[in-house]
Structure 1
Amino acid sequence: MSSSEPAPPGTQATPPAGAARPARADARRNREKLLAAARAAFTAADDTVALEAIAREAGVGIGTLYRHFPTREALVEAVYAAELDHVTDDAAALLTELPPEAALRAWMDRYAAFVATKRGMIDTLRAGWASGSMATPTTRERITAALAAILAGGAQTGAFRADVDPEDVTALLLGVFLSTTASNSPEQIGRLLDLIVDALRPLDARPA
């Protein structure tokens, strides 16, 4: 059979098992480039920055962006979730380095710093959190899990009340950042976080 003739049905060569891997690797790289470009854009500007500009900065077409992130909200949430990993992962390390109360306050400060860098997309985040569409089980549960680990350590040492539901603390923490804006001073946000920590102490351990 000459090389120009089609192979008989059923005898076409099967693509190597790894043939799809380059495509998947390209897709992963494109997604990471889009997330990096979006993170920079949302931090430097506001959440109305054109998606076309983000795609252009990432070096991909707008169609590629929409294949990964069908809506603006999906892109915003993906940026938020990816960076949240770094914050939630800090909880365990802080608990090994500091007493539970200090670990909780330090973790809250890191979360506050994380939120401060998201002011560029705060309108979308506010709307998403308020509706529940962006505080998805994945992201909200990660915040709650980080808090739960520190609260459990504090309950064991007597630093925190044992009857505290970590989900309630998550609601309080999100409430602080939903109710404040860039015009609120870091000192005020710090006082609000101090109030949360104070409420977690046993009554006989609270400042007089």
Structure 2
Amino acid sequence: MTGVADDQRPAATAPAYRRVRADARRNIEALLETAKAVFATSGVDAPMREIADRAGVGVGTIYRHFPQRADLVAAVFRHEVDACASAAAHLATKHAPGEALDRWMQRYVDFIVAKRGLAAALHSGSSAFQSLPAYFDQRLEPALQGLLDRAAAVGELRADADPHDLLRAVASLCMPSGDGDPAPARRLVALLVDGLRYRGRVS
């Protein structure tokens, strides 16, 4: 069992980082980026002191915003979901519809691969994680739907692609291989997206 529930501190009633000033939010976002990097290399049981030292803050600062370790893990997950969802709108403004979809699907692969480090904690049964599946769907399904609609509107894509199914299909294709190399998953996801072009109006 992970150490997610080891820090017995009062649970927050809501994510504290959503109720702070813009400058404080930037500091918290930097802390979340640091926590993500530490979790990726040392696991979610990494000492809070390691995260605090790398972020250049005191341990008390972390606990002030995230009273339990599970709160921090959940916040890192939400932060990554938000970044992935926001990337869809950014790519749509920078690239043609088909290319934007291609690039976002590969960005989603990055998210899935990075999430593996949180997997054990997210399935630990902590109440801090109960809302995360719904949050995942609420943020990522509309983001992907927008890209699909845009590509279908110009005939680059079939019109019946379902974002819910696609998100889960990509997650399945990203199941870890023996050596942990994400390249095979990237190739499979590229083939999946190519398949969505079948029955598009553009040959």
What TM-score does the superposition give when structure 1 sets the normalisation length? 0.66
Whether 1:192 aligns to 2:185 is no
Q: Contact 1:30–1:60 (CA<8 Å) still a contact in 2?
A: no
Give ranges in structure 1 of 5+ residues lacking alignment: 1-23
* 1:109 matched residue in structure 2: 106
| Correspondent of 1:86 among 78, 83, 90 | 83
For 1:167 and 1:75, the matched residues in 2 are separated by 27
Give ranges in structure 2 of 5+ residues lacking alignment: 1-19
SS of corresponding position for 1:49:
coil
What is the deviation of 1:146?
Answer: 1.5
For 1:27 and 1:190, the matched residues in 2 are separated by 36
Deviations 1:54-112 (A, max 9, x none): 345553345x5445334433312211222333332222232233332222111112222
* 2:136 matched residue in structure 1: 139
Matched residue type, 1:197: V
What TM-score does the superposition give when structure 2 sets the normalisation length? 0.67
Q: Contact 2:155–2:202 (CA<8 Å) still a contact in 1?
A: no
Whether 1:74 aligns to 2:71 is yes
Name the Cα RMSD after superposition.
3.5
Higher radius of gyration, 1 or 2: 1
| Correspondent of 2:43 among 34, 42, 46 | 46
For 2:94 and 2:31, the matched residues in 1 are separated by 35
* 1:100 matched residue in structure 2: 97
Deviations 1:148-201 (A, max 9, x none): 111001221222222222222222223333x22572433311222024213423
* 1:9 matched residue in structure 2: none
Structure 1 segment 149-160 matched on structure 2, within 5 A: 149-160=146-157
Which stretch of the first structure deviates more once superposed, 44-53 or 141-150?
Answer: 44-53
Task: Report percent identity of matched pairs.
Answer: 35
For 2:193 and 2:29, the matched residues in 1 are separated by 36
Number of aligned residue pairs: give it.
Answer: 179
Which stretch of the first structure deviates more once superposed, 183-192 or 116-125?
Answer: 116-125
